[in-house]
Each structure stands twice: as structure tokens, then as C-alpha cells.
Chain A
Amino acid sequence: MADTEHEFVRSQMLPALAPPSSQVGAVRWMRENLFSGWANTALTLISAYVVIHFLWGMAPWWLHAVWNASSLPDCRKIIQTDFGPHAEGACFAVVHERWKQLLYGFYPDTEYWRPNLALILMLAAIAPILFSHLPRKLLAFSALYPFIGYWLIWGGTIWFPVSALLGFVIGGVVFKLLAEKSAVVAAGAGIVIAALWWMFGESWLEAALHAALPISLPSVESRDIGGFLLSIIIGVSGITLSLPLGVLLALGRQSNMFFIRSVSIGFIEFIRGVPLITLLFTASLLLNYFLPPGTNFDLILRVVIMVTLFAAAYMAEVIRGGLAALPRGQYEAADALGLDYWKAQRLIIMPQALKISIPGIVNTFIGLFKDTTLVVFIGLLDPIGFINAIRATSEWNGIYWELYIFVGALFFVFCYGMSQYSMYLERKLRTDHR
């Protein structure tokens, strides 16, 4: 046996060499993504030039920003003394001085804690709706929130929202009592009795309770509510009310019952055929003539109703898209299990249809939230309305970008938040049919 066949046997592996510098890290990434050919290289260079040029032009404006000044000429003077006679700069002092109006409108200074608290409670109220791993008992608070929020923002006696809430309780009890016999009759009776309560019983109870135990906050008029507070009130109420209404309309449109189907189709097509601004003008102007003189039908409430109806029509079509995407087998499976219509919808159809419609639903929500700025045309002072008003004062006349950038940034935060939530929801609910 020859035992020296091999002069040398490596008993250990050599450590791997570092890859060449052109194949790692940023250099490789740039070669692959930015300079992978002459066309891409040219495009990269052009884009880089445009971006740098743009930033170069903007940078002084941002860097020279002034945060403390009493007026625009004052601002310009500060910039010129600090950065030379031809310097230009942003004057964010206007935001510093007027942020309260941009956020709260004419809401009284001493009561700012109320909208703040309402906002925090609102987050607490929507959390259990948005995130399913939170305890389900929190939903009770969500249901109570509209009344708490109303009382906090508008103030007045606490017994008004309490007795209004009682209407829902009475309607619910009636529904429960009759539900055994027929769900439709029970729902109808519940609604009628609740409506009767609101028309006749409510104000009496409110007065009686208020006399017995006067708990109240100083009331704030709708005219004093403005700025982002107004946008959020209109946006959030529109969003939360339009989804259930949209579901009902979408189901109504697919219903076999002629009357319900034609009413739903008529409503959806009418609303979709009319611009939102027309509905807002109707709310603010025409209703004044149709209502009996002396009726005080709150303007914000009118706007919320119109915005909700508008969004609900779009929502109905989005959800109909989800319903149409479901295979027939799902409906038949529900029937085969012996589920009635409402159970089938609740347990089988809607969870799937809504999941499919998430991007469309969130799209409608974001659109609705941004559409709230249209109320500026009927004289309500939302953030855009306040920009006009602030620009009309002698101190700030002539300012432009700073205010729009501020308001734009706030809207972006909200809309981006909604969009991120929808992404999260899609990921969570993905059951992968791929």
C-alpha cells in the first residue's frame, strides 16, 4: 500500500474571500439598479440632476425659515437682516401664530381640552374596531362614543345625548322582544318606536333630568367649530356612517324584491350623477327654504348627512364589486348549510366580499376625507377656508406656500395613516388563493 500518494491534503477549508468590491453593498446595488446600461445610466443622471436642482432651489427657502414674527413684512425683515438683502425664506411664523385657528377654528380657547379629549377617546373607540385582537367588550365603548363625542364637542346638557341614546335602547328592546316572530317586523317596529321617542318623549325627559340634576358643559355653536376639527368631524362621521349604509345599499341593489332594488338603484345612480358640491349647496341653501321658518337645523349636521349619502353611494358600488367577485358556490354553500339570508350574509358572504373590497373602501374613505375641504364653498371655515381668512388679514396678506404646506402635511398624515392601515388589514386577512 502506498501511503504517500498525496503530498499535501488540506484538512481545513479556507475562509471564503470577500467578494470583489463591485459585487457588494451600495456599489452593486447601484450597478444593478441605476447604471445597468447606457439608457438607464442616462436616465439616472438626468433624474439626479433634476432632483438636485430642485432641492438646491428649495433649500435656502427651508433653511431661512422664520418661526417667530408678528407679520409678513416683519418676517421678510428678519430674513433680510439674517441672510442678506436678497435672501428669500419661508415664514412659518404664520403657522406658529395661527395654528389654533387652523386646528380648532373659533372654538373657545379655554375649552380646547374638550376636542382634544374627544379625539383621544375616538382613537380608543375605533381601536377595537380596527384591531381584532383587542377584547371584544371594548366595542360597548365604541357604541357609546358618538354620544360622548357629541357632548364633549358641542357641550350643553349631558341629558340630551343620554335621552337620545335611550331612543336606541328602546328601539333595541322592542326589536329583541319581537325578533322571535319576524326579524323584518321587529326591525320596523323598533325604528318606529325609537323615532316616536325622539319626537315626543326625548325632550320631555331631557328637561326633567336637567331640572333634577343639571350636569352640563358650556355649549359651543356649530359656527364656531372650524379648522381641522371640522374636517375630522365631517370626515369621521361620514366614514363611519357611510360603510353600513353602503353595505345595505349594495345588498339592496342585488335584492330580488323589486321595490328595494329600484329604490337602491335610483338612490345610487342619482347620487353618483350629482357632484358633491351641488349636494352641499342644497344642504346649505335650499334646505333653508323648504324647512319651516325658525327651524334650526344645524349646518354641520346637514353637511354630514349630505357627505354620508354621497360616500354611501360610492361605497355601495365598491362593495357590489366585492360581491360580484365571489364565486356562486359560496352563496350555494350558505344555502346548503340552511342559513337564512341575514346569517348567510353575515357569516359567509360579507366577510369575503368586504375583504376583497378593502382597497376600494379605503380609497373611498380617503377621497371622502379630502372632499371635506369642499365645505369652504358654503362658507364653513375648514382649514382651507381659514387659509383664505388668514391671508386676508393685514398682517399675513400675501403669504401662500407656508399655510398650504402645513395643511397639506396634516392631511397627508391622516390619509397616509388610513392607507397604511388598509395594507395591514390586507396582509392580515390574506388567505392566499394564489
Chain B
Amino acid sequence: MKTTVFLGIAASACLMAGAASAGTLDDVKQAGELKCGVTTGLAGFAAPDSNGVWQGFDVDYCRAVAAAVLGDPTKVKFVPTTGQTRFTALASGEVDMLARNTTWTFSRDVDLKFTFVGINYYDGQGFMVPKKLGVSSAKELDGATVCIQTGTTTELNLADYFKANNMKYEPVPIETNAEAQQQFLAGACDVYTTDRSGLAATRATFAKPDDYVVLPEVISKEPLGPLVRQGDDQWADVVRWVSNALVEGEDLGITSANIEELSKGTNNPEINRILGTDPGFGKMLGLDEQWAKRAIAANGNYGEIFAANLGESTPIGLSRGLNALWTQGGLQYSPPFR
């Protein structure tokens, strides 16, 4: 309740702040630097490496936008934000965009006055149990003790799911993912529930990951994506079409390896339009013609970004699942570049 009121104030203040400043695109170009809000640390999505360089799935989105707008993927200032500070940081203009595994929900889009520019990761809440529990479906979890992070949507989803299936559970409230891992390993709870990407990342860190299984049920929709302030459509278009270009790049087979080759001109008109060989699209967006080429060249297309940060060759080892291209049974789909 308190949070809602607080965020409401934040949102209305954001309108004033938004009205006062010029277009974000011009601001970013003038500053020569993109201020991008990321998490303070989430496996696979954003974390600083030992040299202090941010790495991760969300981080690569920031870099792609910076490459498109400023011509240099390194010109990003990463602003670590927490679950509480992320929306005010965006609303107050402390950051230009948020790429902080944020779930697209009605109230965030409508009430908090943000514009979600797309979905770059389809997540959902799942369950992890020790193998020795002998459970193969979430429907068999009646009476289980469940480690659950307090104050999150996962807590509500869990209650709904168990109620709908007429089962009982005993919650073990915990504050952070780190605490959850310790409690779960120590056997304080039978089940750990959070987003499936988080479960996979957590399981990968265990000394004996094979002793634990992630159950097949997905009990909620958690579409994650980058977002910007509402009311600045030009900037929203830039971020949206950079995201789309990454997906479309994978769809058309444009990779960081062959992009130079393809940008010399191909007989596929859509590739030519994206890469600026057929000029026009960059100007419409307020950028130069090479914008999408640079965005894809920065970290590769969507598939490459996924594989480098979350995919099966990384310790997190997530399969594409819902995040495969639409042509391969997934949901990743870009509107045409036409």
C-alpha cells in the first residue's frame, strides 16, 4: 500500500520532469553517454567482472542501444538499481532506460507511466526440489515447506497456485536469493521457488547440481523487457527498434561474424534495409543509416547474446524454450523492417 502511494507520487512527479526536459535521444547524444539502469547483480543478466566491466544479458542490451545511438558500445554508464530504486531512477531521469529484468505488468505500464518497448526474455515462476524427495510434478507438493522471497510477486503467485490446486504449504520467508540458496541447501525447506532463470542459475552454483531438479510446471508469466519513460515516443522507438533489430538479425542470419560481409549488399532487401545498404530507416529514427549494423555488431544478434550470457554453454545453461525464434517454436518475433 505504502509503496503504491509512494510510486504514485513518483510517477506524477515524473510527468513534470518529463515535460521539463527535451527529448531523451538529444540528451543522450549531447551527453555522449547512455545512462542505463541495471540490477546491482543478477547471474546472467548483469554483474561486474573482475575488471569492473559489466557483463550480462541486460548489459548487452544497453551496449546495443549505445552502439546504435552513439556509435560506441562502451559509452554506457551503468547505474546499479535495486528493486525499490529502479522506477524512481527512471522516472526522475537519473537513467535514460532500464534494462533490469523487469516484468511487464499492467500497473507498471499504465499507472507508473512507463513504456515497455518489448519482451527480451520470457520467464516464469518454477519450482526446484532435491531429487531425493522423489517428486516429478508440482502437483505432488501438498504439505511441502517452501522457501519464498517475501514481498515479491512470486509470493502471491505461489499462494494462488496452491489454492487453485487445493494444496497446503508452509512458507519459509527469506529476504534474498543468497539466503534462499543457503536455506535450501541446508534443508530448511523442501522446495525453492522463484523465476526459472533464477532457479537454473542457482542450481548451477551447487556443488552437486545433479541432486536437484527443476520441476516442469511454470506457474506464472514473467515477460521481462527494457523500458523507458512514457511520453517520449522518439526515444521509445529507438530502444524498441534496436531490440527488434537484434531479434530480426537472428531471424535473417545476420551475426557478428558475417555482418561486415552482408553490409556490402545482399539480394535480400530486408537485410539491406536493416544494415543501411538501402538507406532511409536511420533517418526516420533520428539516427544515421548504420545504427542497426552497429547494434548487432556490438554483441551479436539476439541468439548470440542469449548464448553468451544464459545459454547452454554457460554455467547457467538455459535452453531457449519460449525464447526461441517464432520459426523454431518460440515467441521471439520482430515486426518487419519495411
The chain A residues found within 8 Å of chain B, CB to CB, are 72-73, 76, 97-98, 101, 106, 223, 281, 284-285, 288-289, 293-294, 376-381, 385, 388-395, 397-398, 400
Query: From A385, which residue of chain B is reached at the shortest CB distance?
Result: B40
Instruction: Check B43–A381 contact: CB distance below 8 A.
Output: no
Query: From A70, which residue of chain B is reached at the shortest CB distance?
Result: B50
Q: How far is the CB of A406 from chain B (nearest CB, A)?
A: 15
B201 proximity list for chain A (CB < 8 A) = 397
Name the prevailing secondary structure of the A interface residues: helix
Give A397 to B49 CA distance when docked, in angstroms.
12
B20 proximity list for chain A (CB < 8 A) = 293
Give A398 to B208 CA distance when docked, in angstroms.
12
Q: How far is the CB of B231 from chain A (nearest CB, A)?
A: 15
B47 proximity list for chain A (CB < 8 A) = 389-390, 392-393
Instruction: Check A106–B205 contact: CB distance below 8 A.
Output: no
Give A388 to B316 CA distance when docked, in angstroms.
17
B21 proximity list for chain A (CB < 8 A) = 293-294
Within 8 A of A (CB), among B1-55: 10, 13, 16-17, 20-21, 39-50, 52, 55
One of B79, B88, B202 near A223 (C-beta < 8 A): B79
Instruction: Check B80–A72 contact: CB distance below 8 A.
Output: no
Give A289 to B43 CA distance when docked, in angstroms.
32
Give A378 to B82 CA distance when docked, in angstroms.
7
Contact with A along B303-338 (1 / 0, CB 8 A): 000000000001110000000000000000000000
Instruction: Check A393–B79 contact: CB distance below 8 A.
Output: no
Instruction: Check A288–B48 contact: CB distance below 8 A.
Output: no
* Ranked 7 nearest A-B pairs via Cβ: A398-B205, A392-B41, A389-B41, A288-B92, A392-B47, A289-B13, A285-B88
One of A281, A288, A377, A389 near B94 (C-beta < 8 A): A288
Instruction: Check A393–B17 contact: CB distance below 8 A.
Output: no
A294 proximity list for chain B (CB < 8 A) = 21
Q: How far is the CB of A373 from chain B (nearest CB, A)?
A: 13
The chain B residues found within 8 Å of chain A, CB to CB, are 10, 13, 16-17, 20-21, 39-50, 52, 55, 77, 79-82, 84-85, 88-89, 92-94, 176, 178, 181-182, 201-202, 204-207, 314-316
Instruction: Check B81–A101 contact: CB distance below 8 A.
Output: no
Instruction: Check B10–A289 contact: CB distance below 8 A.
Output: yes
Q: How far is the CB of A102 from chain B (nearest CB, A)?
A: 11
B82 proximity list for chain A (CB < 8 A) = 376-379
Instruction: Check B205–A288 contact: CB distance below 8 A.
Output: no
Give A394 to B40 CA distance when docked, in angstroms.
14
One of B13, B45, B181 near A398 (C-beta < 8 A): B181
Give A360 to B44 CA distance when docked, in angstroms.
46
Query: From B52, which residue of chain A is reached at the shortest CB distance?
Result: A106
A392 proximity list for chain B (CB < 8 A) = 39, 41-43, 45-47
Give A384 to B59 CA distance when docked, in angstroms.
22
What are 8 A-B interface contacts by the 8 Å CB criterion? A288-B88, A289-B92, A379-B80, A379-B89, A388-B178, A393-B48, A394-B315, A397-B205
Give A393 to B42 CA distance when docked, in angstroms.
7
Instruction: Check A397–B204 contact: CB distance below 8 A.
Output: yes
Instruction: Check A385–B85 contact: CB distance below 8 A.
Output: no
Give A281 to B2 CA distance when docked, in angstroms.
14
Interface centre among A288, A381, A398, by most chain B C-beta atoms within 10 angstroms, is A398
One of A106, A377, A391, A393 near B178 (C-beta < 8 A): A391
Give A73 to B79 CA distance when docked, in angstroms.
29
Instruction: Check B205–A72 contact: CB distance below 8 A.
Output: yes
Q: How far is the CB of B227 from chain A (nearest CB, A)?
A: 17
A106 proximity list for chain B (CB < 8 A) = 48, 52
A385 proximity list for chain B (CB < 8 A) = 40, 80
Give A281 to B85 CA distance when docked, in angstroms.
8
Instruction: Check A76–B178 contact: CB distance below 8 A.
Output: no
Query: From A281, which residue of chain B is reached at the shortest CB distance?
Result: B84
A379 proximity list for chain B (CB < 8 A) = 40, 79-82, 85, 89
Q: How far is the CB of A281 from chain B (nearest CB, A)?
A: 7
Interface centre among B16, B92, B201, by most chain A C-beta atoms within 10 angstroms, is B92
Instruction: Check B92–A285 contact: CB distance below 8 A.
Output: yes
Q: How far is the CB of B157 from chain A (nearest CB, A)?
A: 23
One of B85, B182, B315 near A285 (C-beta < 8 A): B85
* Known interface pairs A101-B48, A101-B50, A285-B88; A398-B94 also in contact (CB < 8 Å): no
One of B77, B80, B85, B202 near A389 (C-beta < 8 A): B80
